[in-house]
Amino acid sequence: MKIFTKNEYSELKSMVVGNIDFANWPVGDIYFDAMMNSSTYEGTIKKGPIPKEIKDVAKKDLDILAEKLIENNVKVYRPLKKNWELEYKKFEKITTGMHCYSTRDLLFTVGNKVIECPTPYISRQHEFMAFENIKKEAIKDGCQWLSAPLPAMNKEDFKIVGDKATLTEDYPIFDAANVLKFNDKLLYLVSCTGNYKGAEWLQSIVGNEFEVITWDGVYSHAHIDSTIVSLNHDTILLNGSRVKENNIPKFLKDKKKIWINDVVPRKFHEFPYASKWIGFNIMSINPETVVVDTIQKEMTKTLINEGFNVINTPMYESRTLGGGFHCVTLDLERVNE
């Protein structure tokens, strides 16, 4: 299994698509609890196994996505099925797990490396074992598979004021989904799931081949891929409610910009783990072809008018589960441009 990625849009050769088996909202994770308690949404998330009817819908969506990728000559892998409803122990903390739905969240592929990232969610620090099948094949074929030092996430390691979380800088903390690849540059979102120390650590791992550029003050709630998408070498898609001309990173100033100022909100079950902007979360099969939620008709029209081929397929539970197309997929190999 060859591992090679340097951007988000080159011709896709192989990819992981997540699964929803034993999906669960974790018990015992103090950071997860703190983030849920600081949410601006009314109500609370119901802990424990995610209802079967939700998982059935999500499974169908993931399976359809996998089929469409295969139709486009992409080799598809799936995580191993693990029971996230069980209790796991880490740093003397006992939690249940979460899920492998958003398979991009924790594993970062860059060059011929795969990095198991230092997520702040203790409940997800066991999730890497669902990728042992992929890890074994990748290492056999020369991949450098690395594990970041995992954070213990004690109460003193974060502070939440209102709905904004600030992480300690005592050690690196970040999710893989905090980072987007732009060939020789890695754009790293500083947020509730990524601190500055994480960017420093990532730079030390990727060396001189890539420059890690931090992006702060744009979006403080979790991941980067509902705010900006790299569509090809010359074009970026921007969330107009968060990004303005004055806060676009300098190295992207001269790119062609497609602005999306609104999206259609998906319905959700009881509590939304993601905002409506999860509908912005699209992924590229190649520089001309993108996958977009069926409900996003205006975005689809905009992208077609800009010369892109659009594959529409639904993501009915994207808000319930907190993952769009970029979230639920993980690039393994893209053609080097």
Q: How far is Cα 48 from Cα 46, in angstroms, rounded to an integer?
A: 7
Cβ neighbours of residue 213 closer than 8 Å, sequence gap 6 or more: 185, 186, 187, 188, 249, 251
Active site residue 223: yes
Instruction: Out of 100, 143, 192, 327, pick the active-site residue.
Output: 327
Instruction: Out of 99, 221, 223, 326, pick the active-site residue.
Output: 223
Active site residue 327: yes
Instruction: Out of 61, 157, 175, 331, pick the active-site residue.
Output: 175
Cβ neighbours of residue 286 closer than 8 Å, sequence gap 6 or more: 9, 10, 11, 12
Active site residue 29: no
- Where in the sequence numbering do the catalytic residues fall? 175, 223, 327
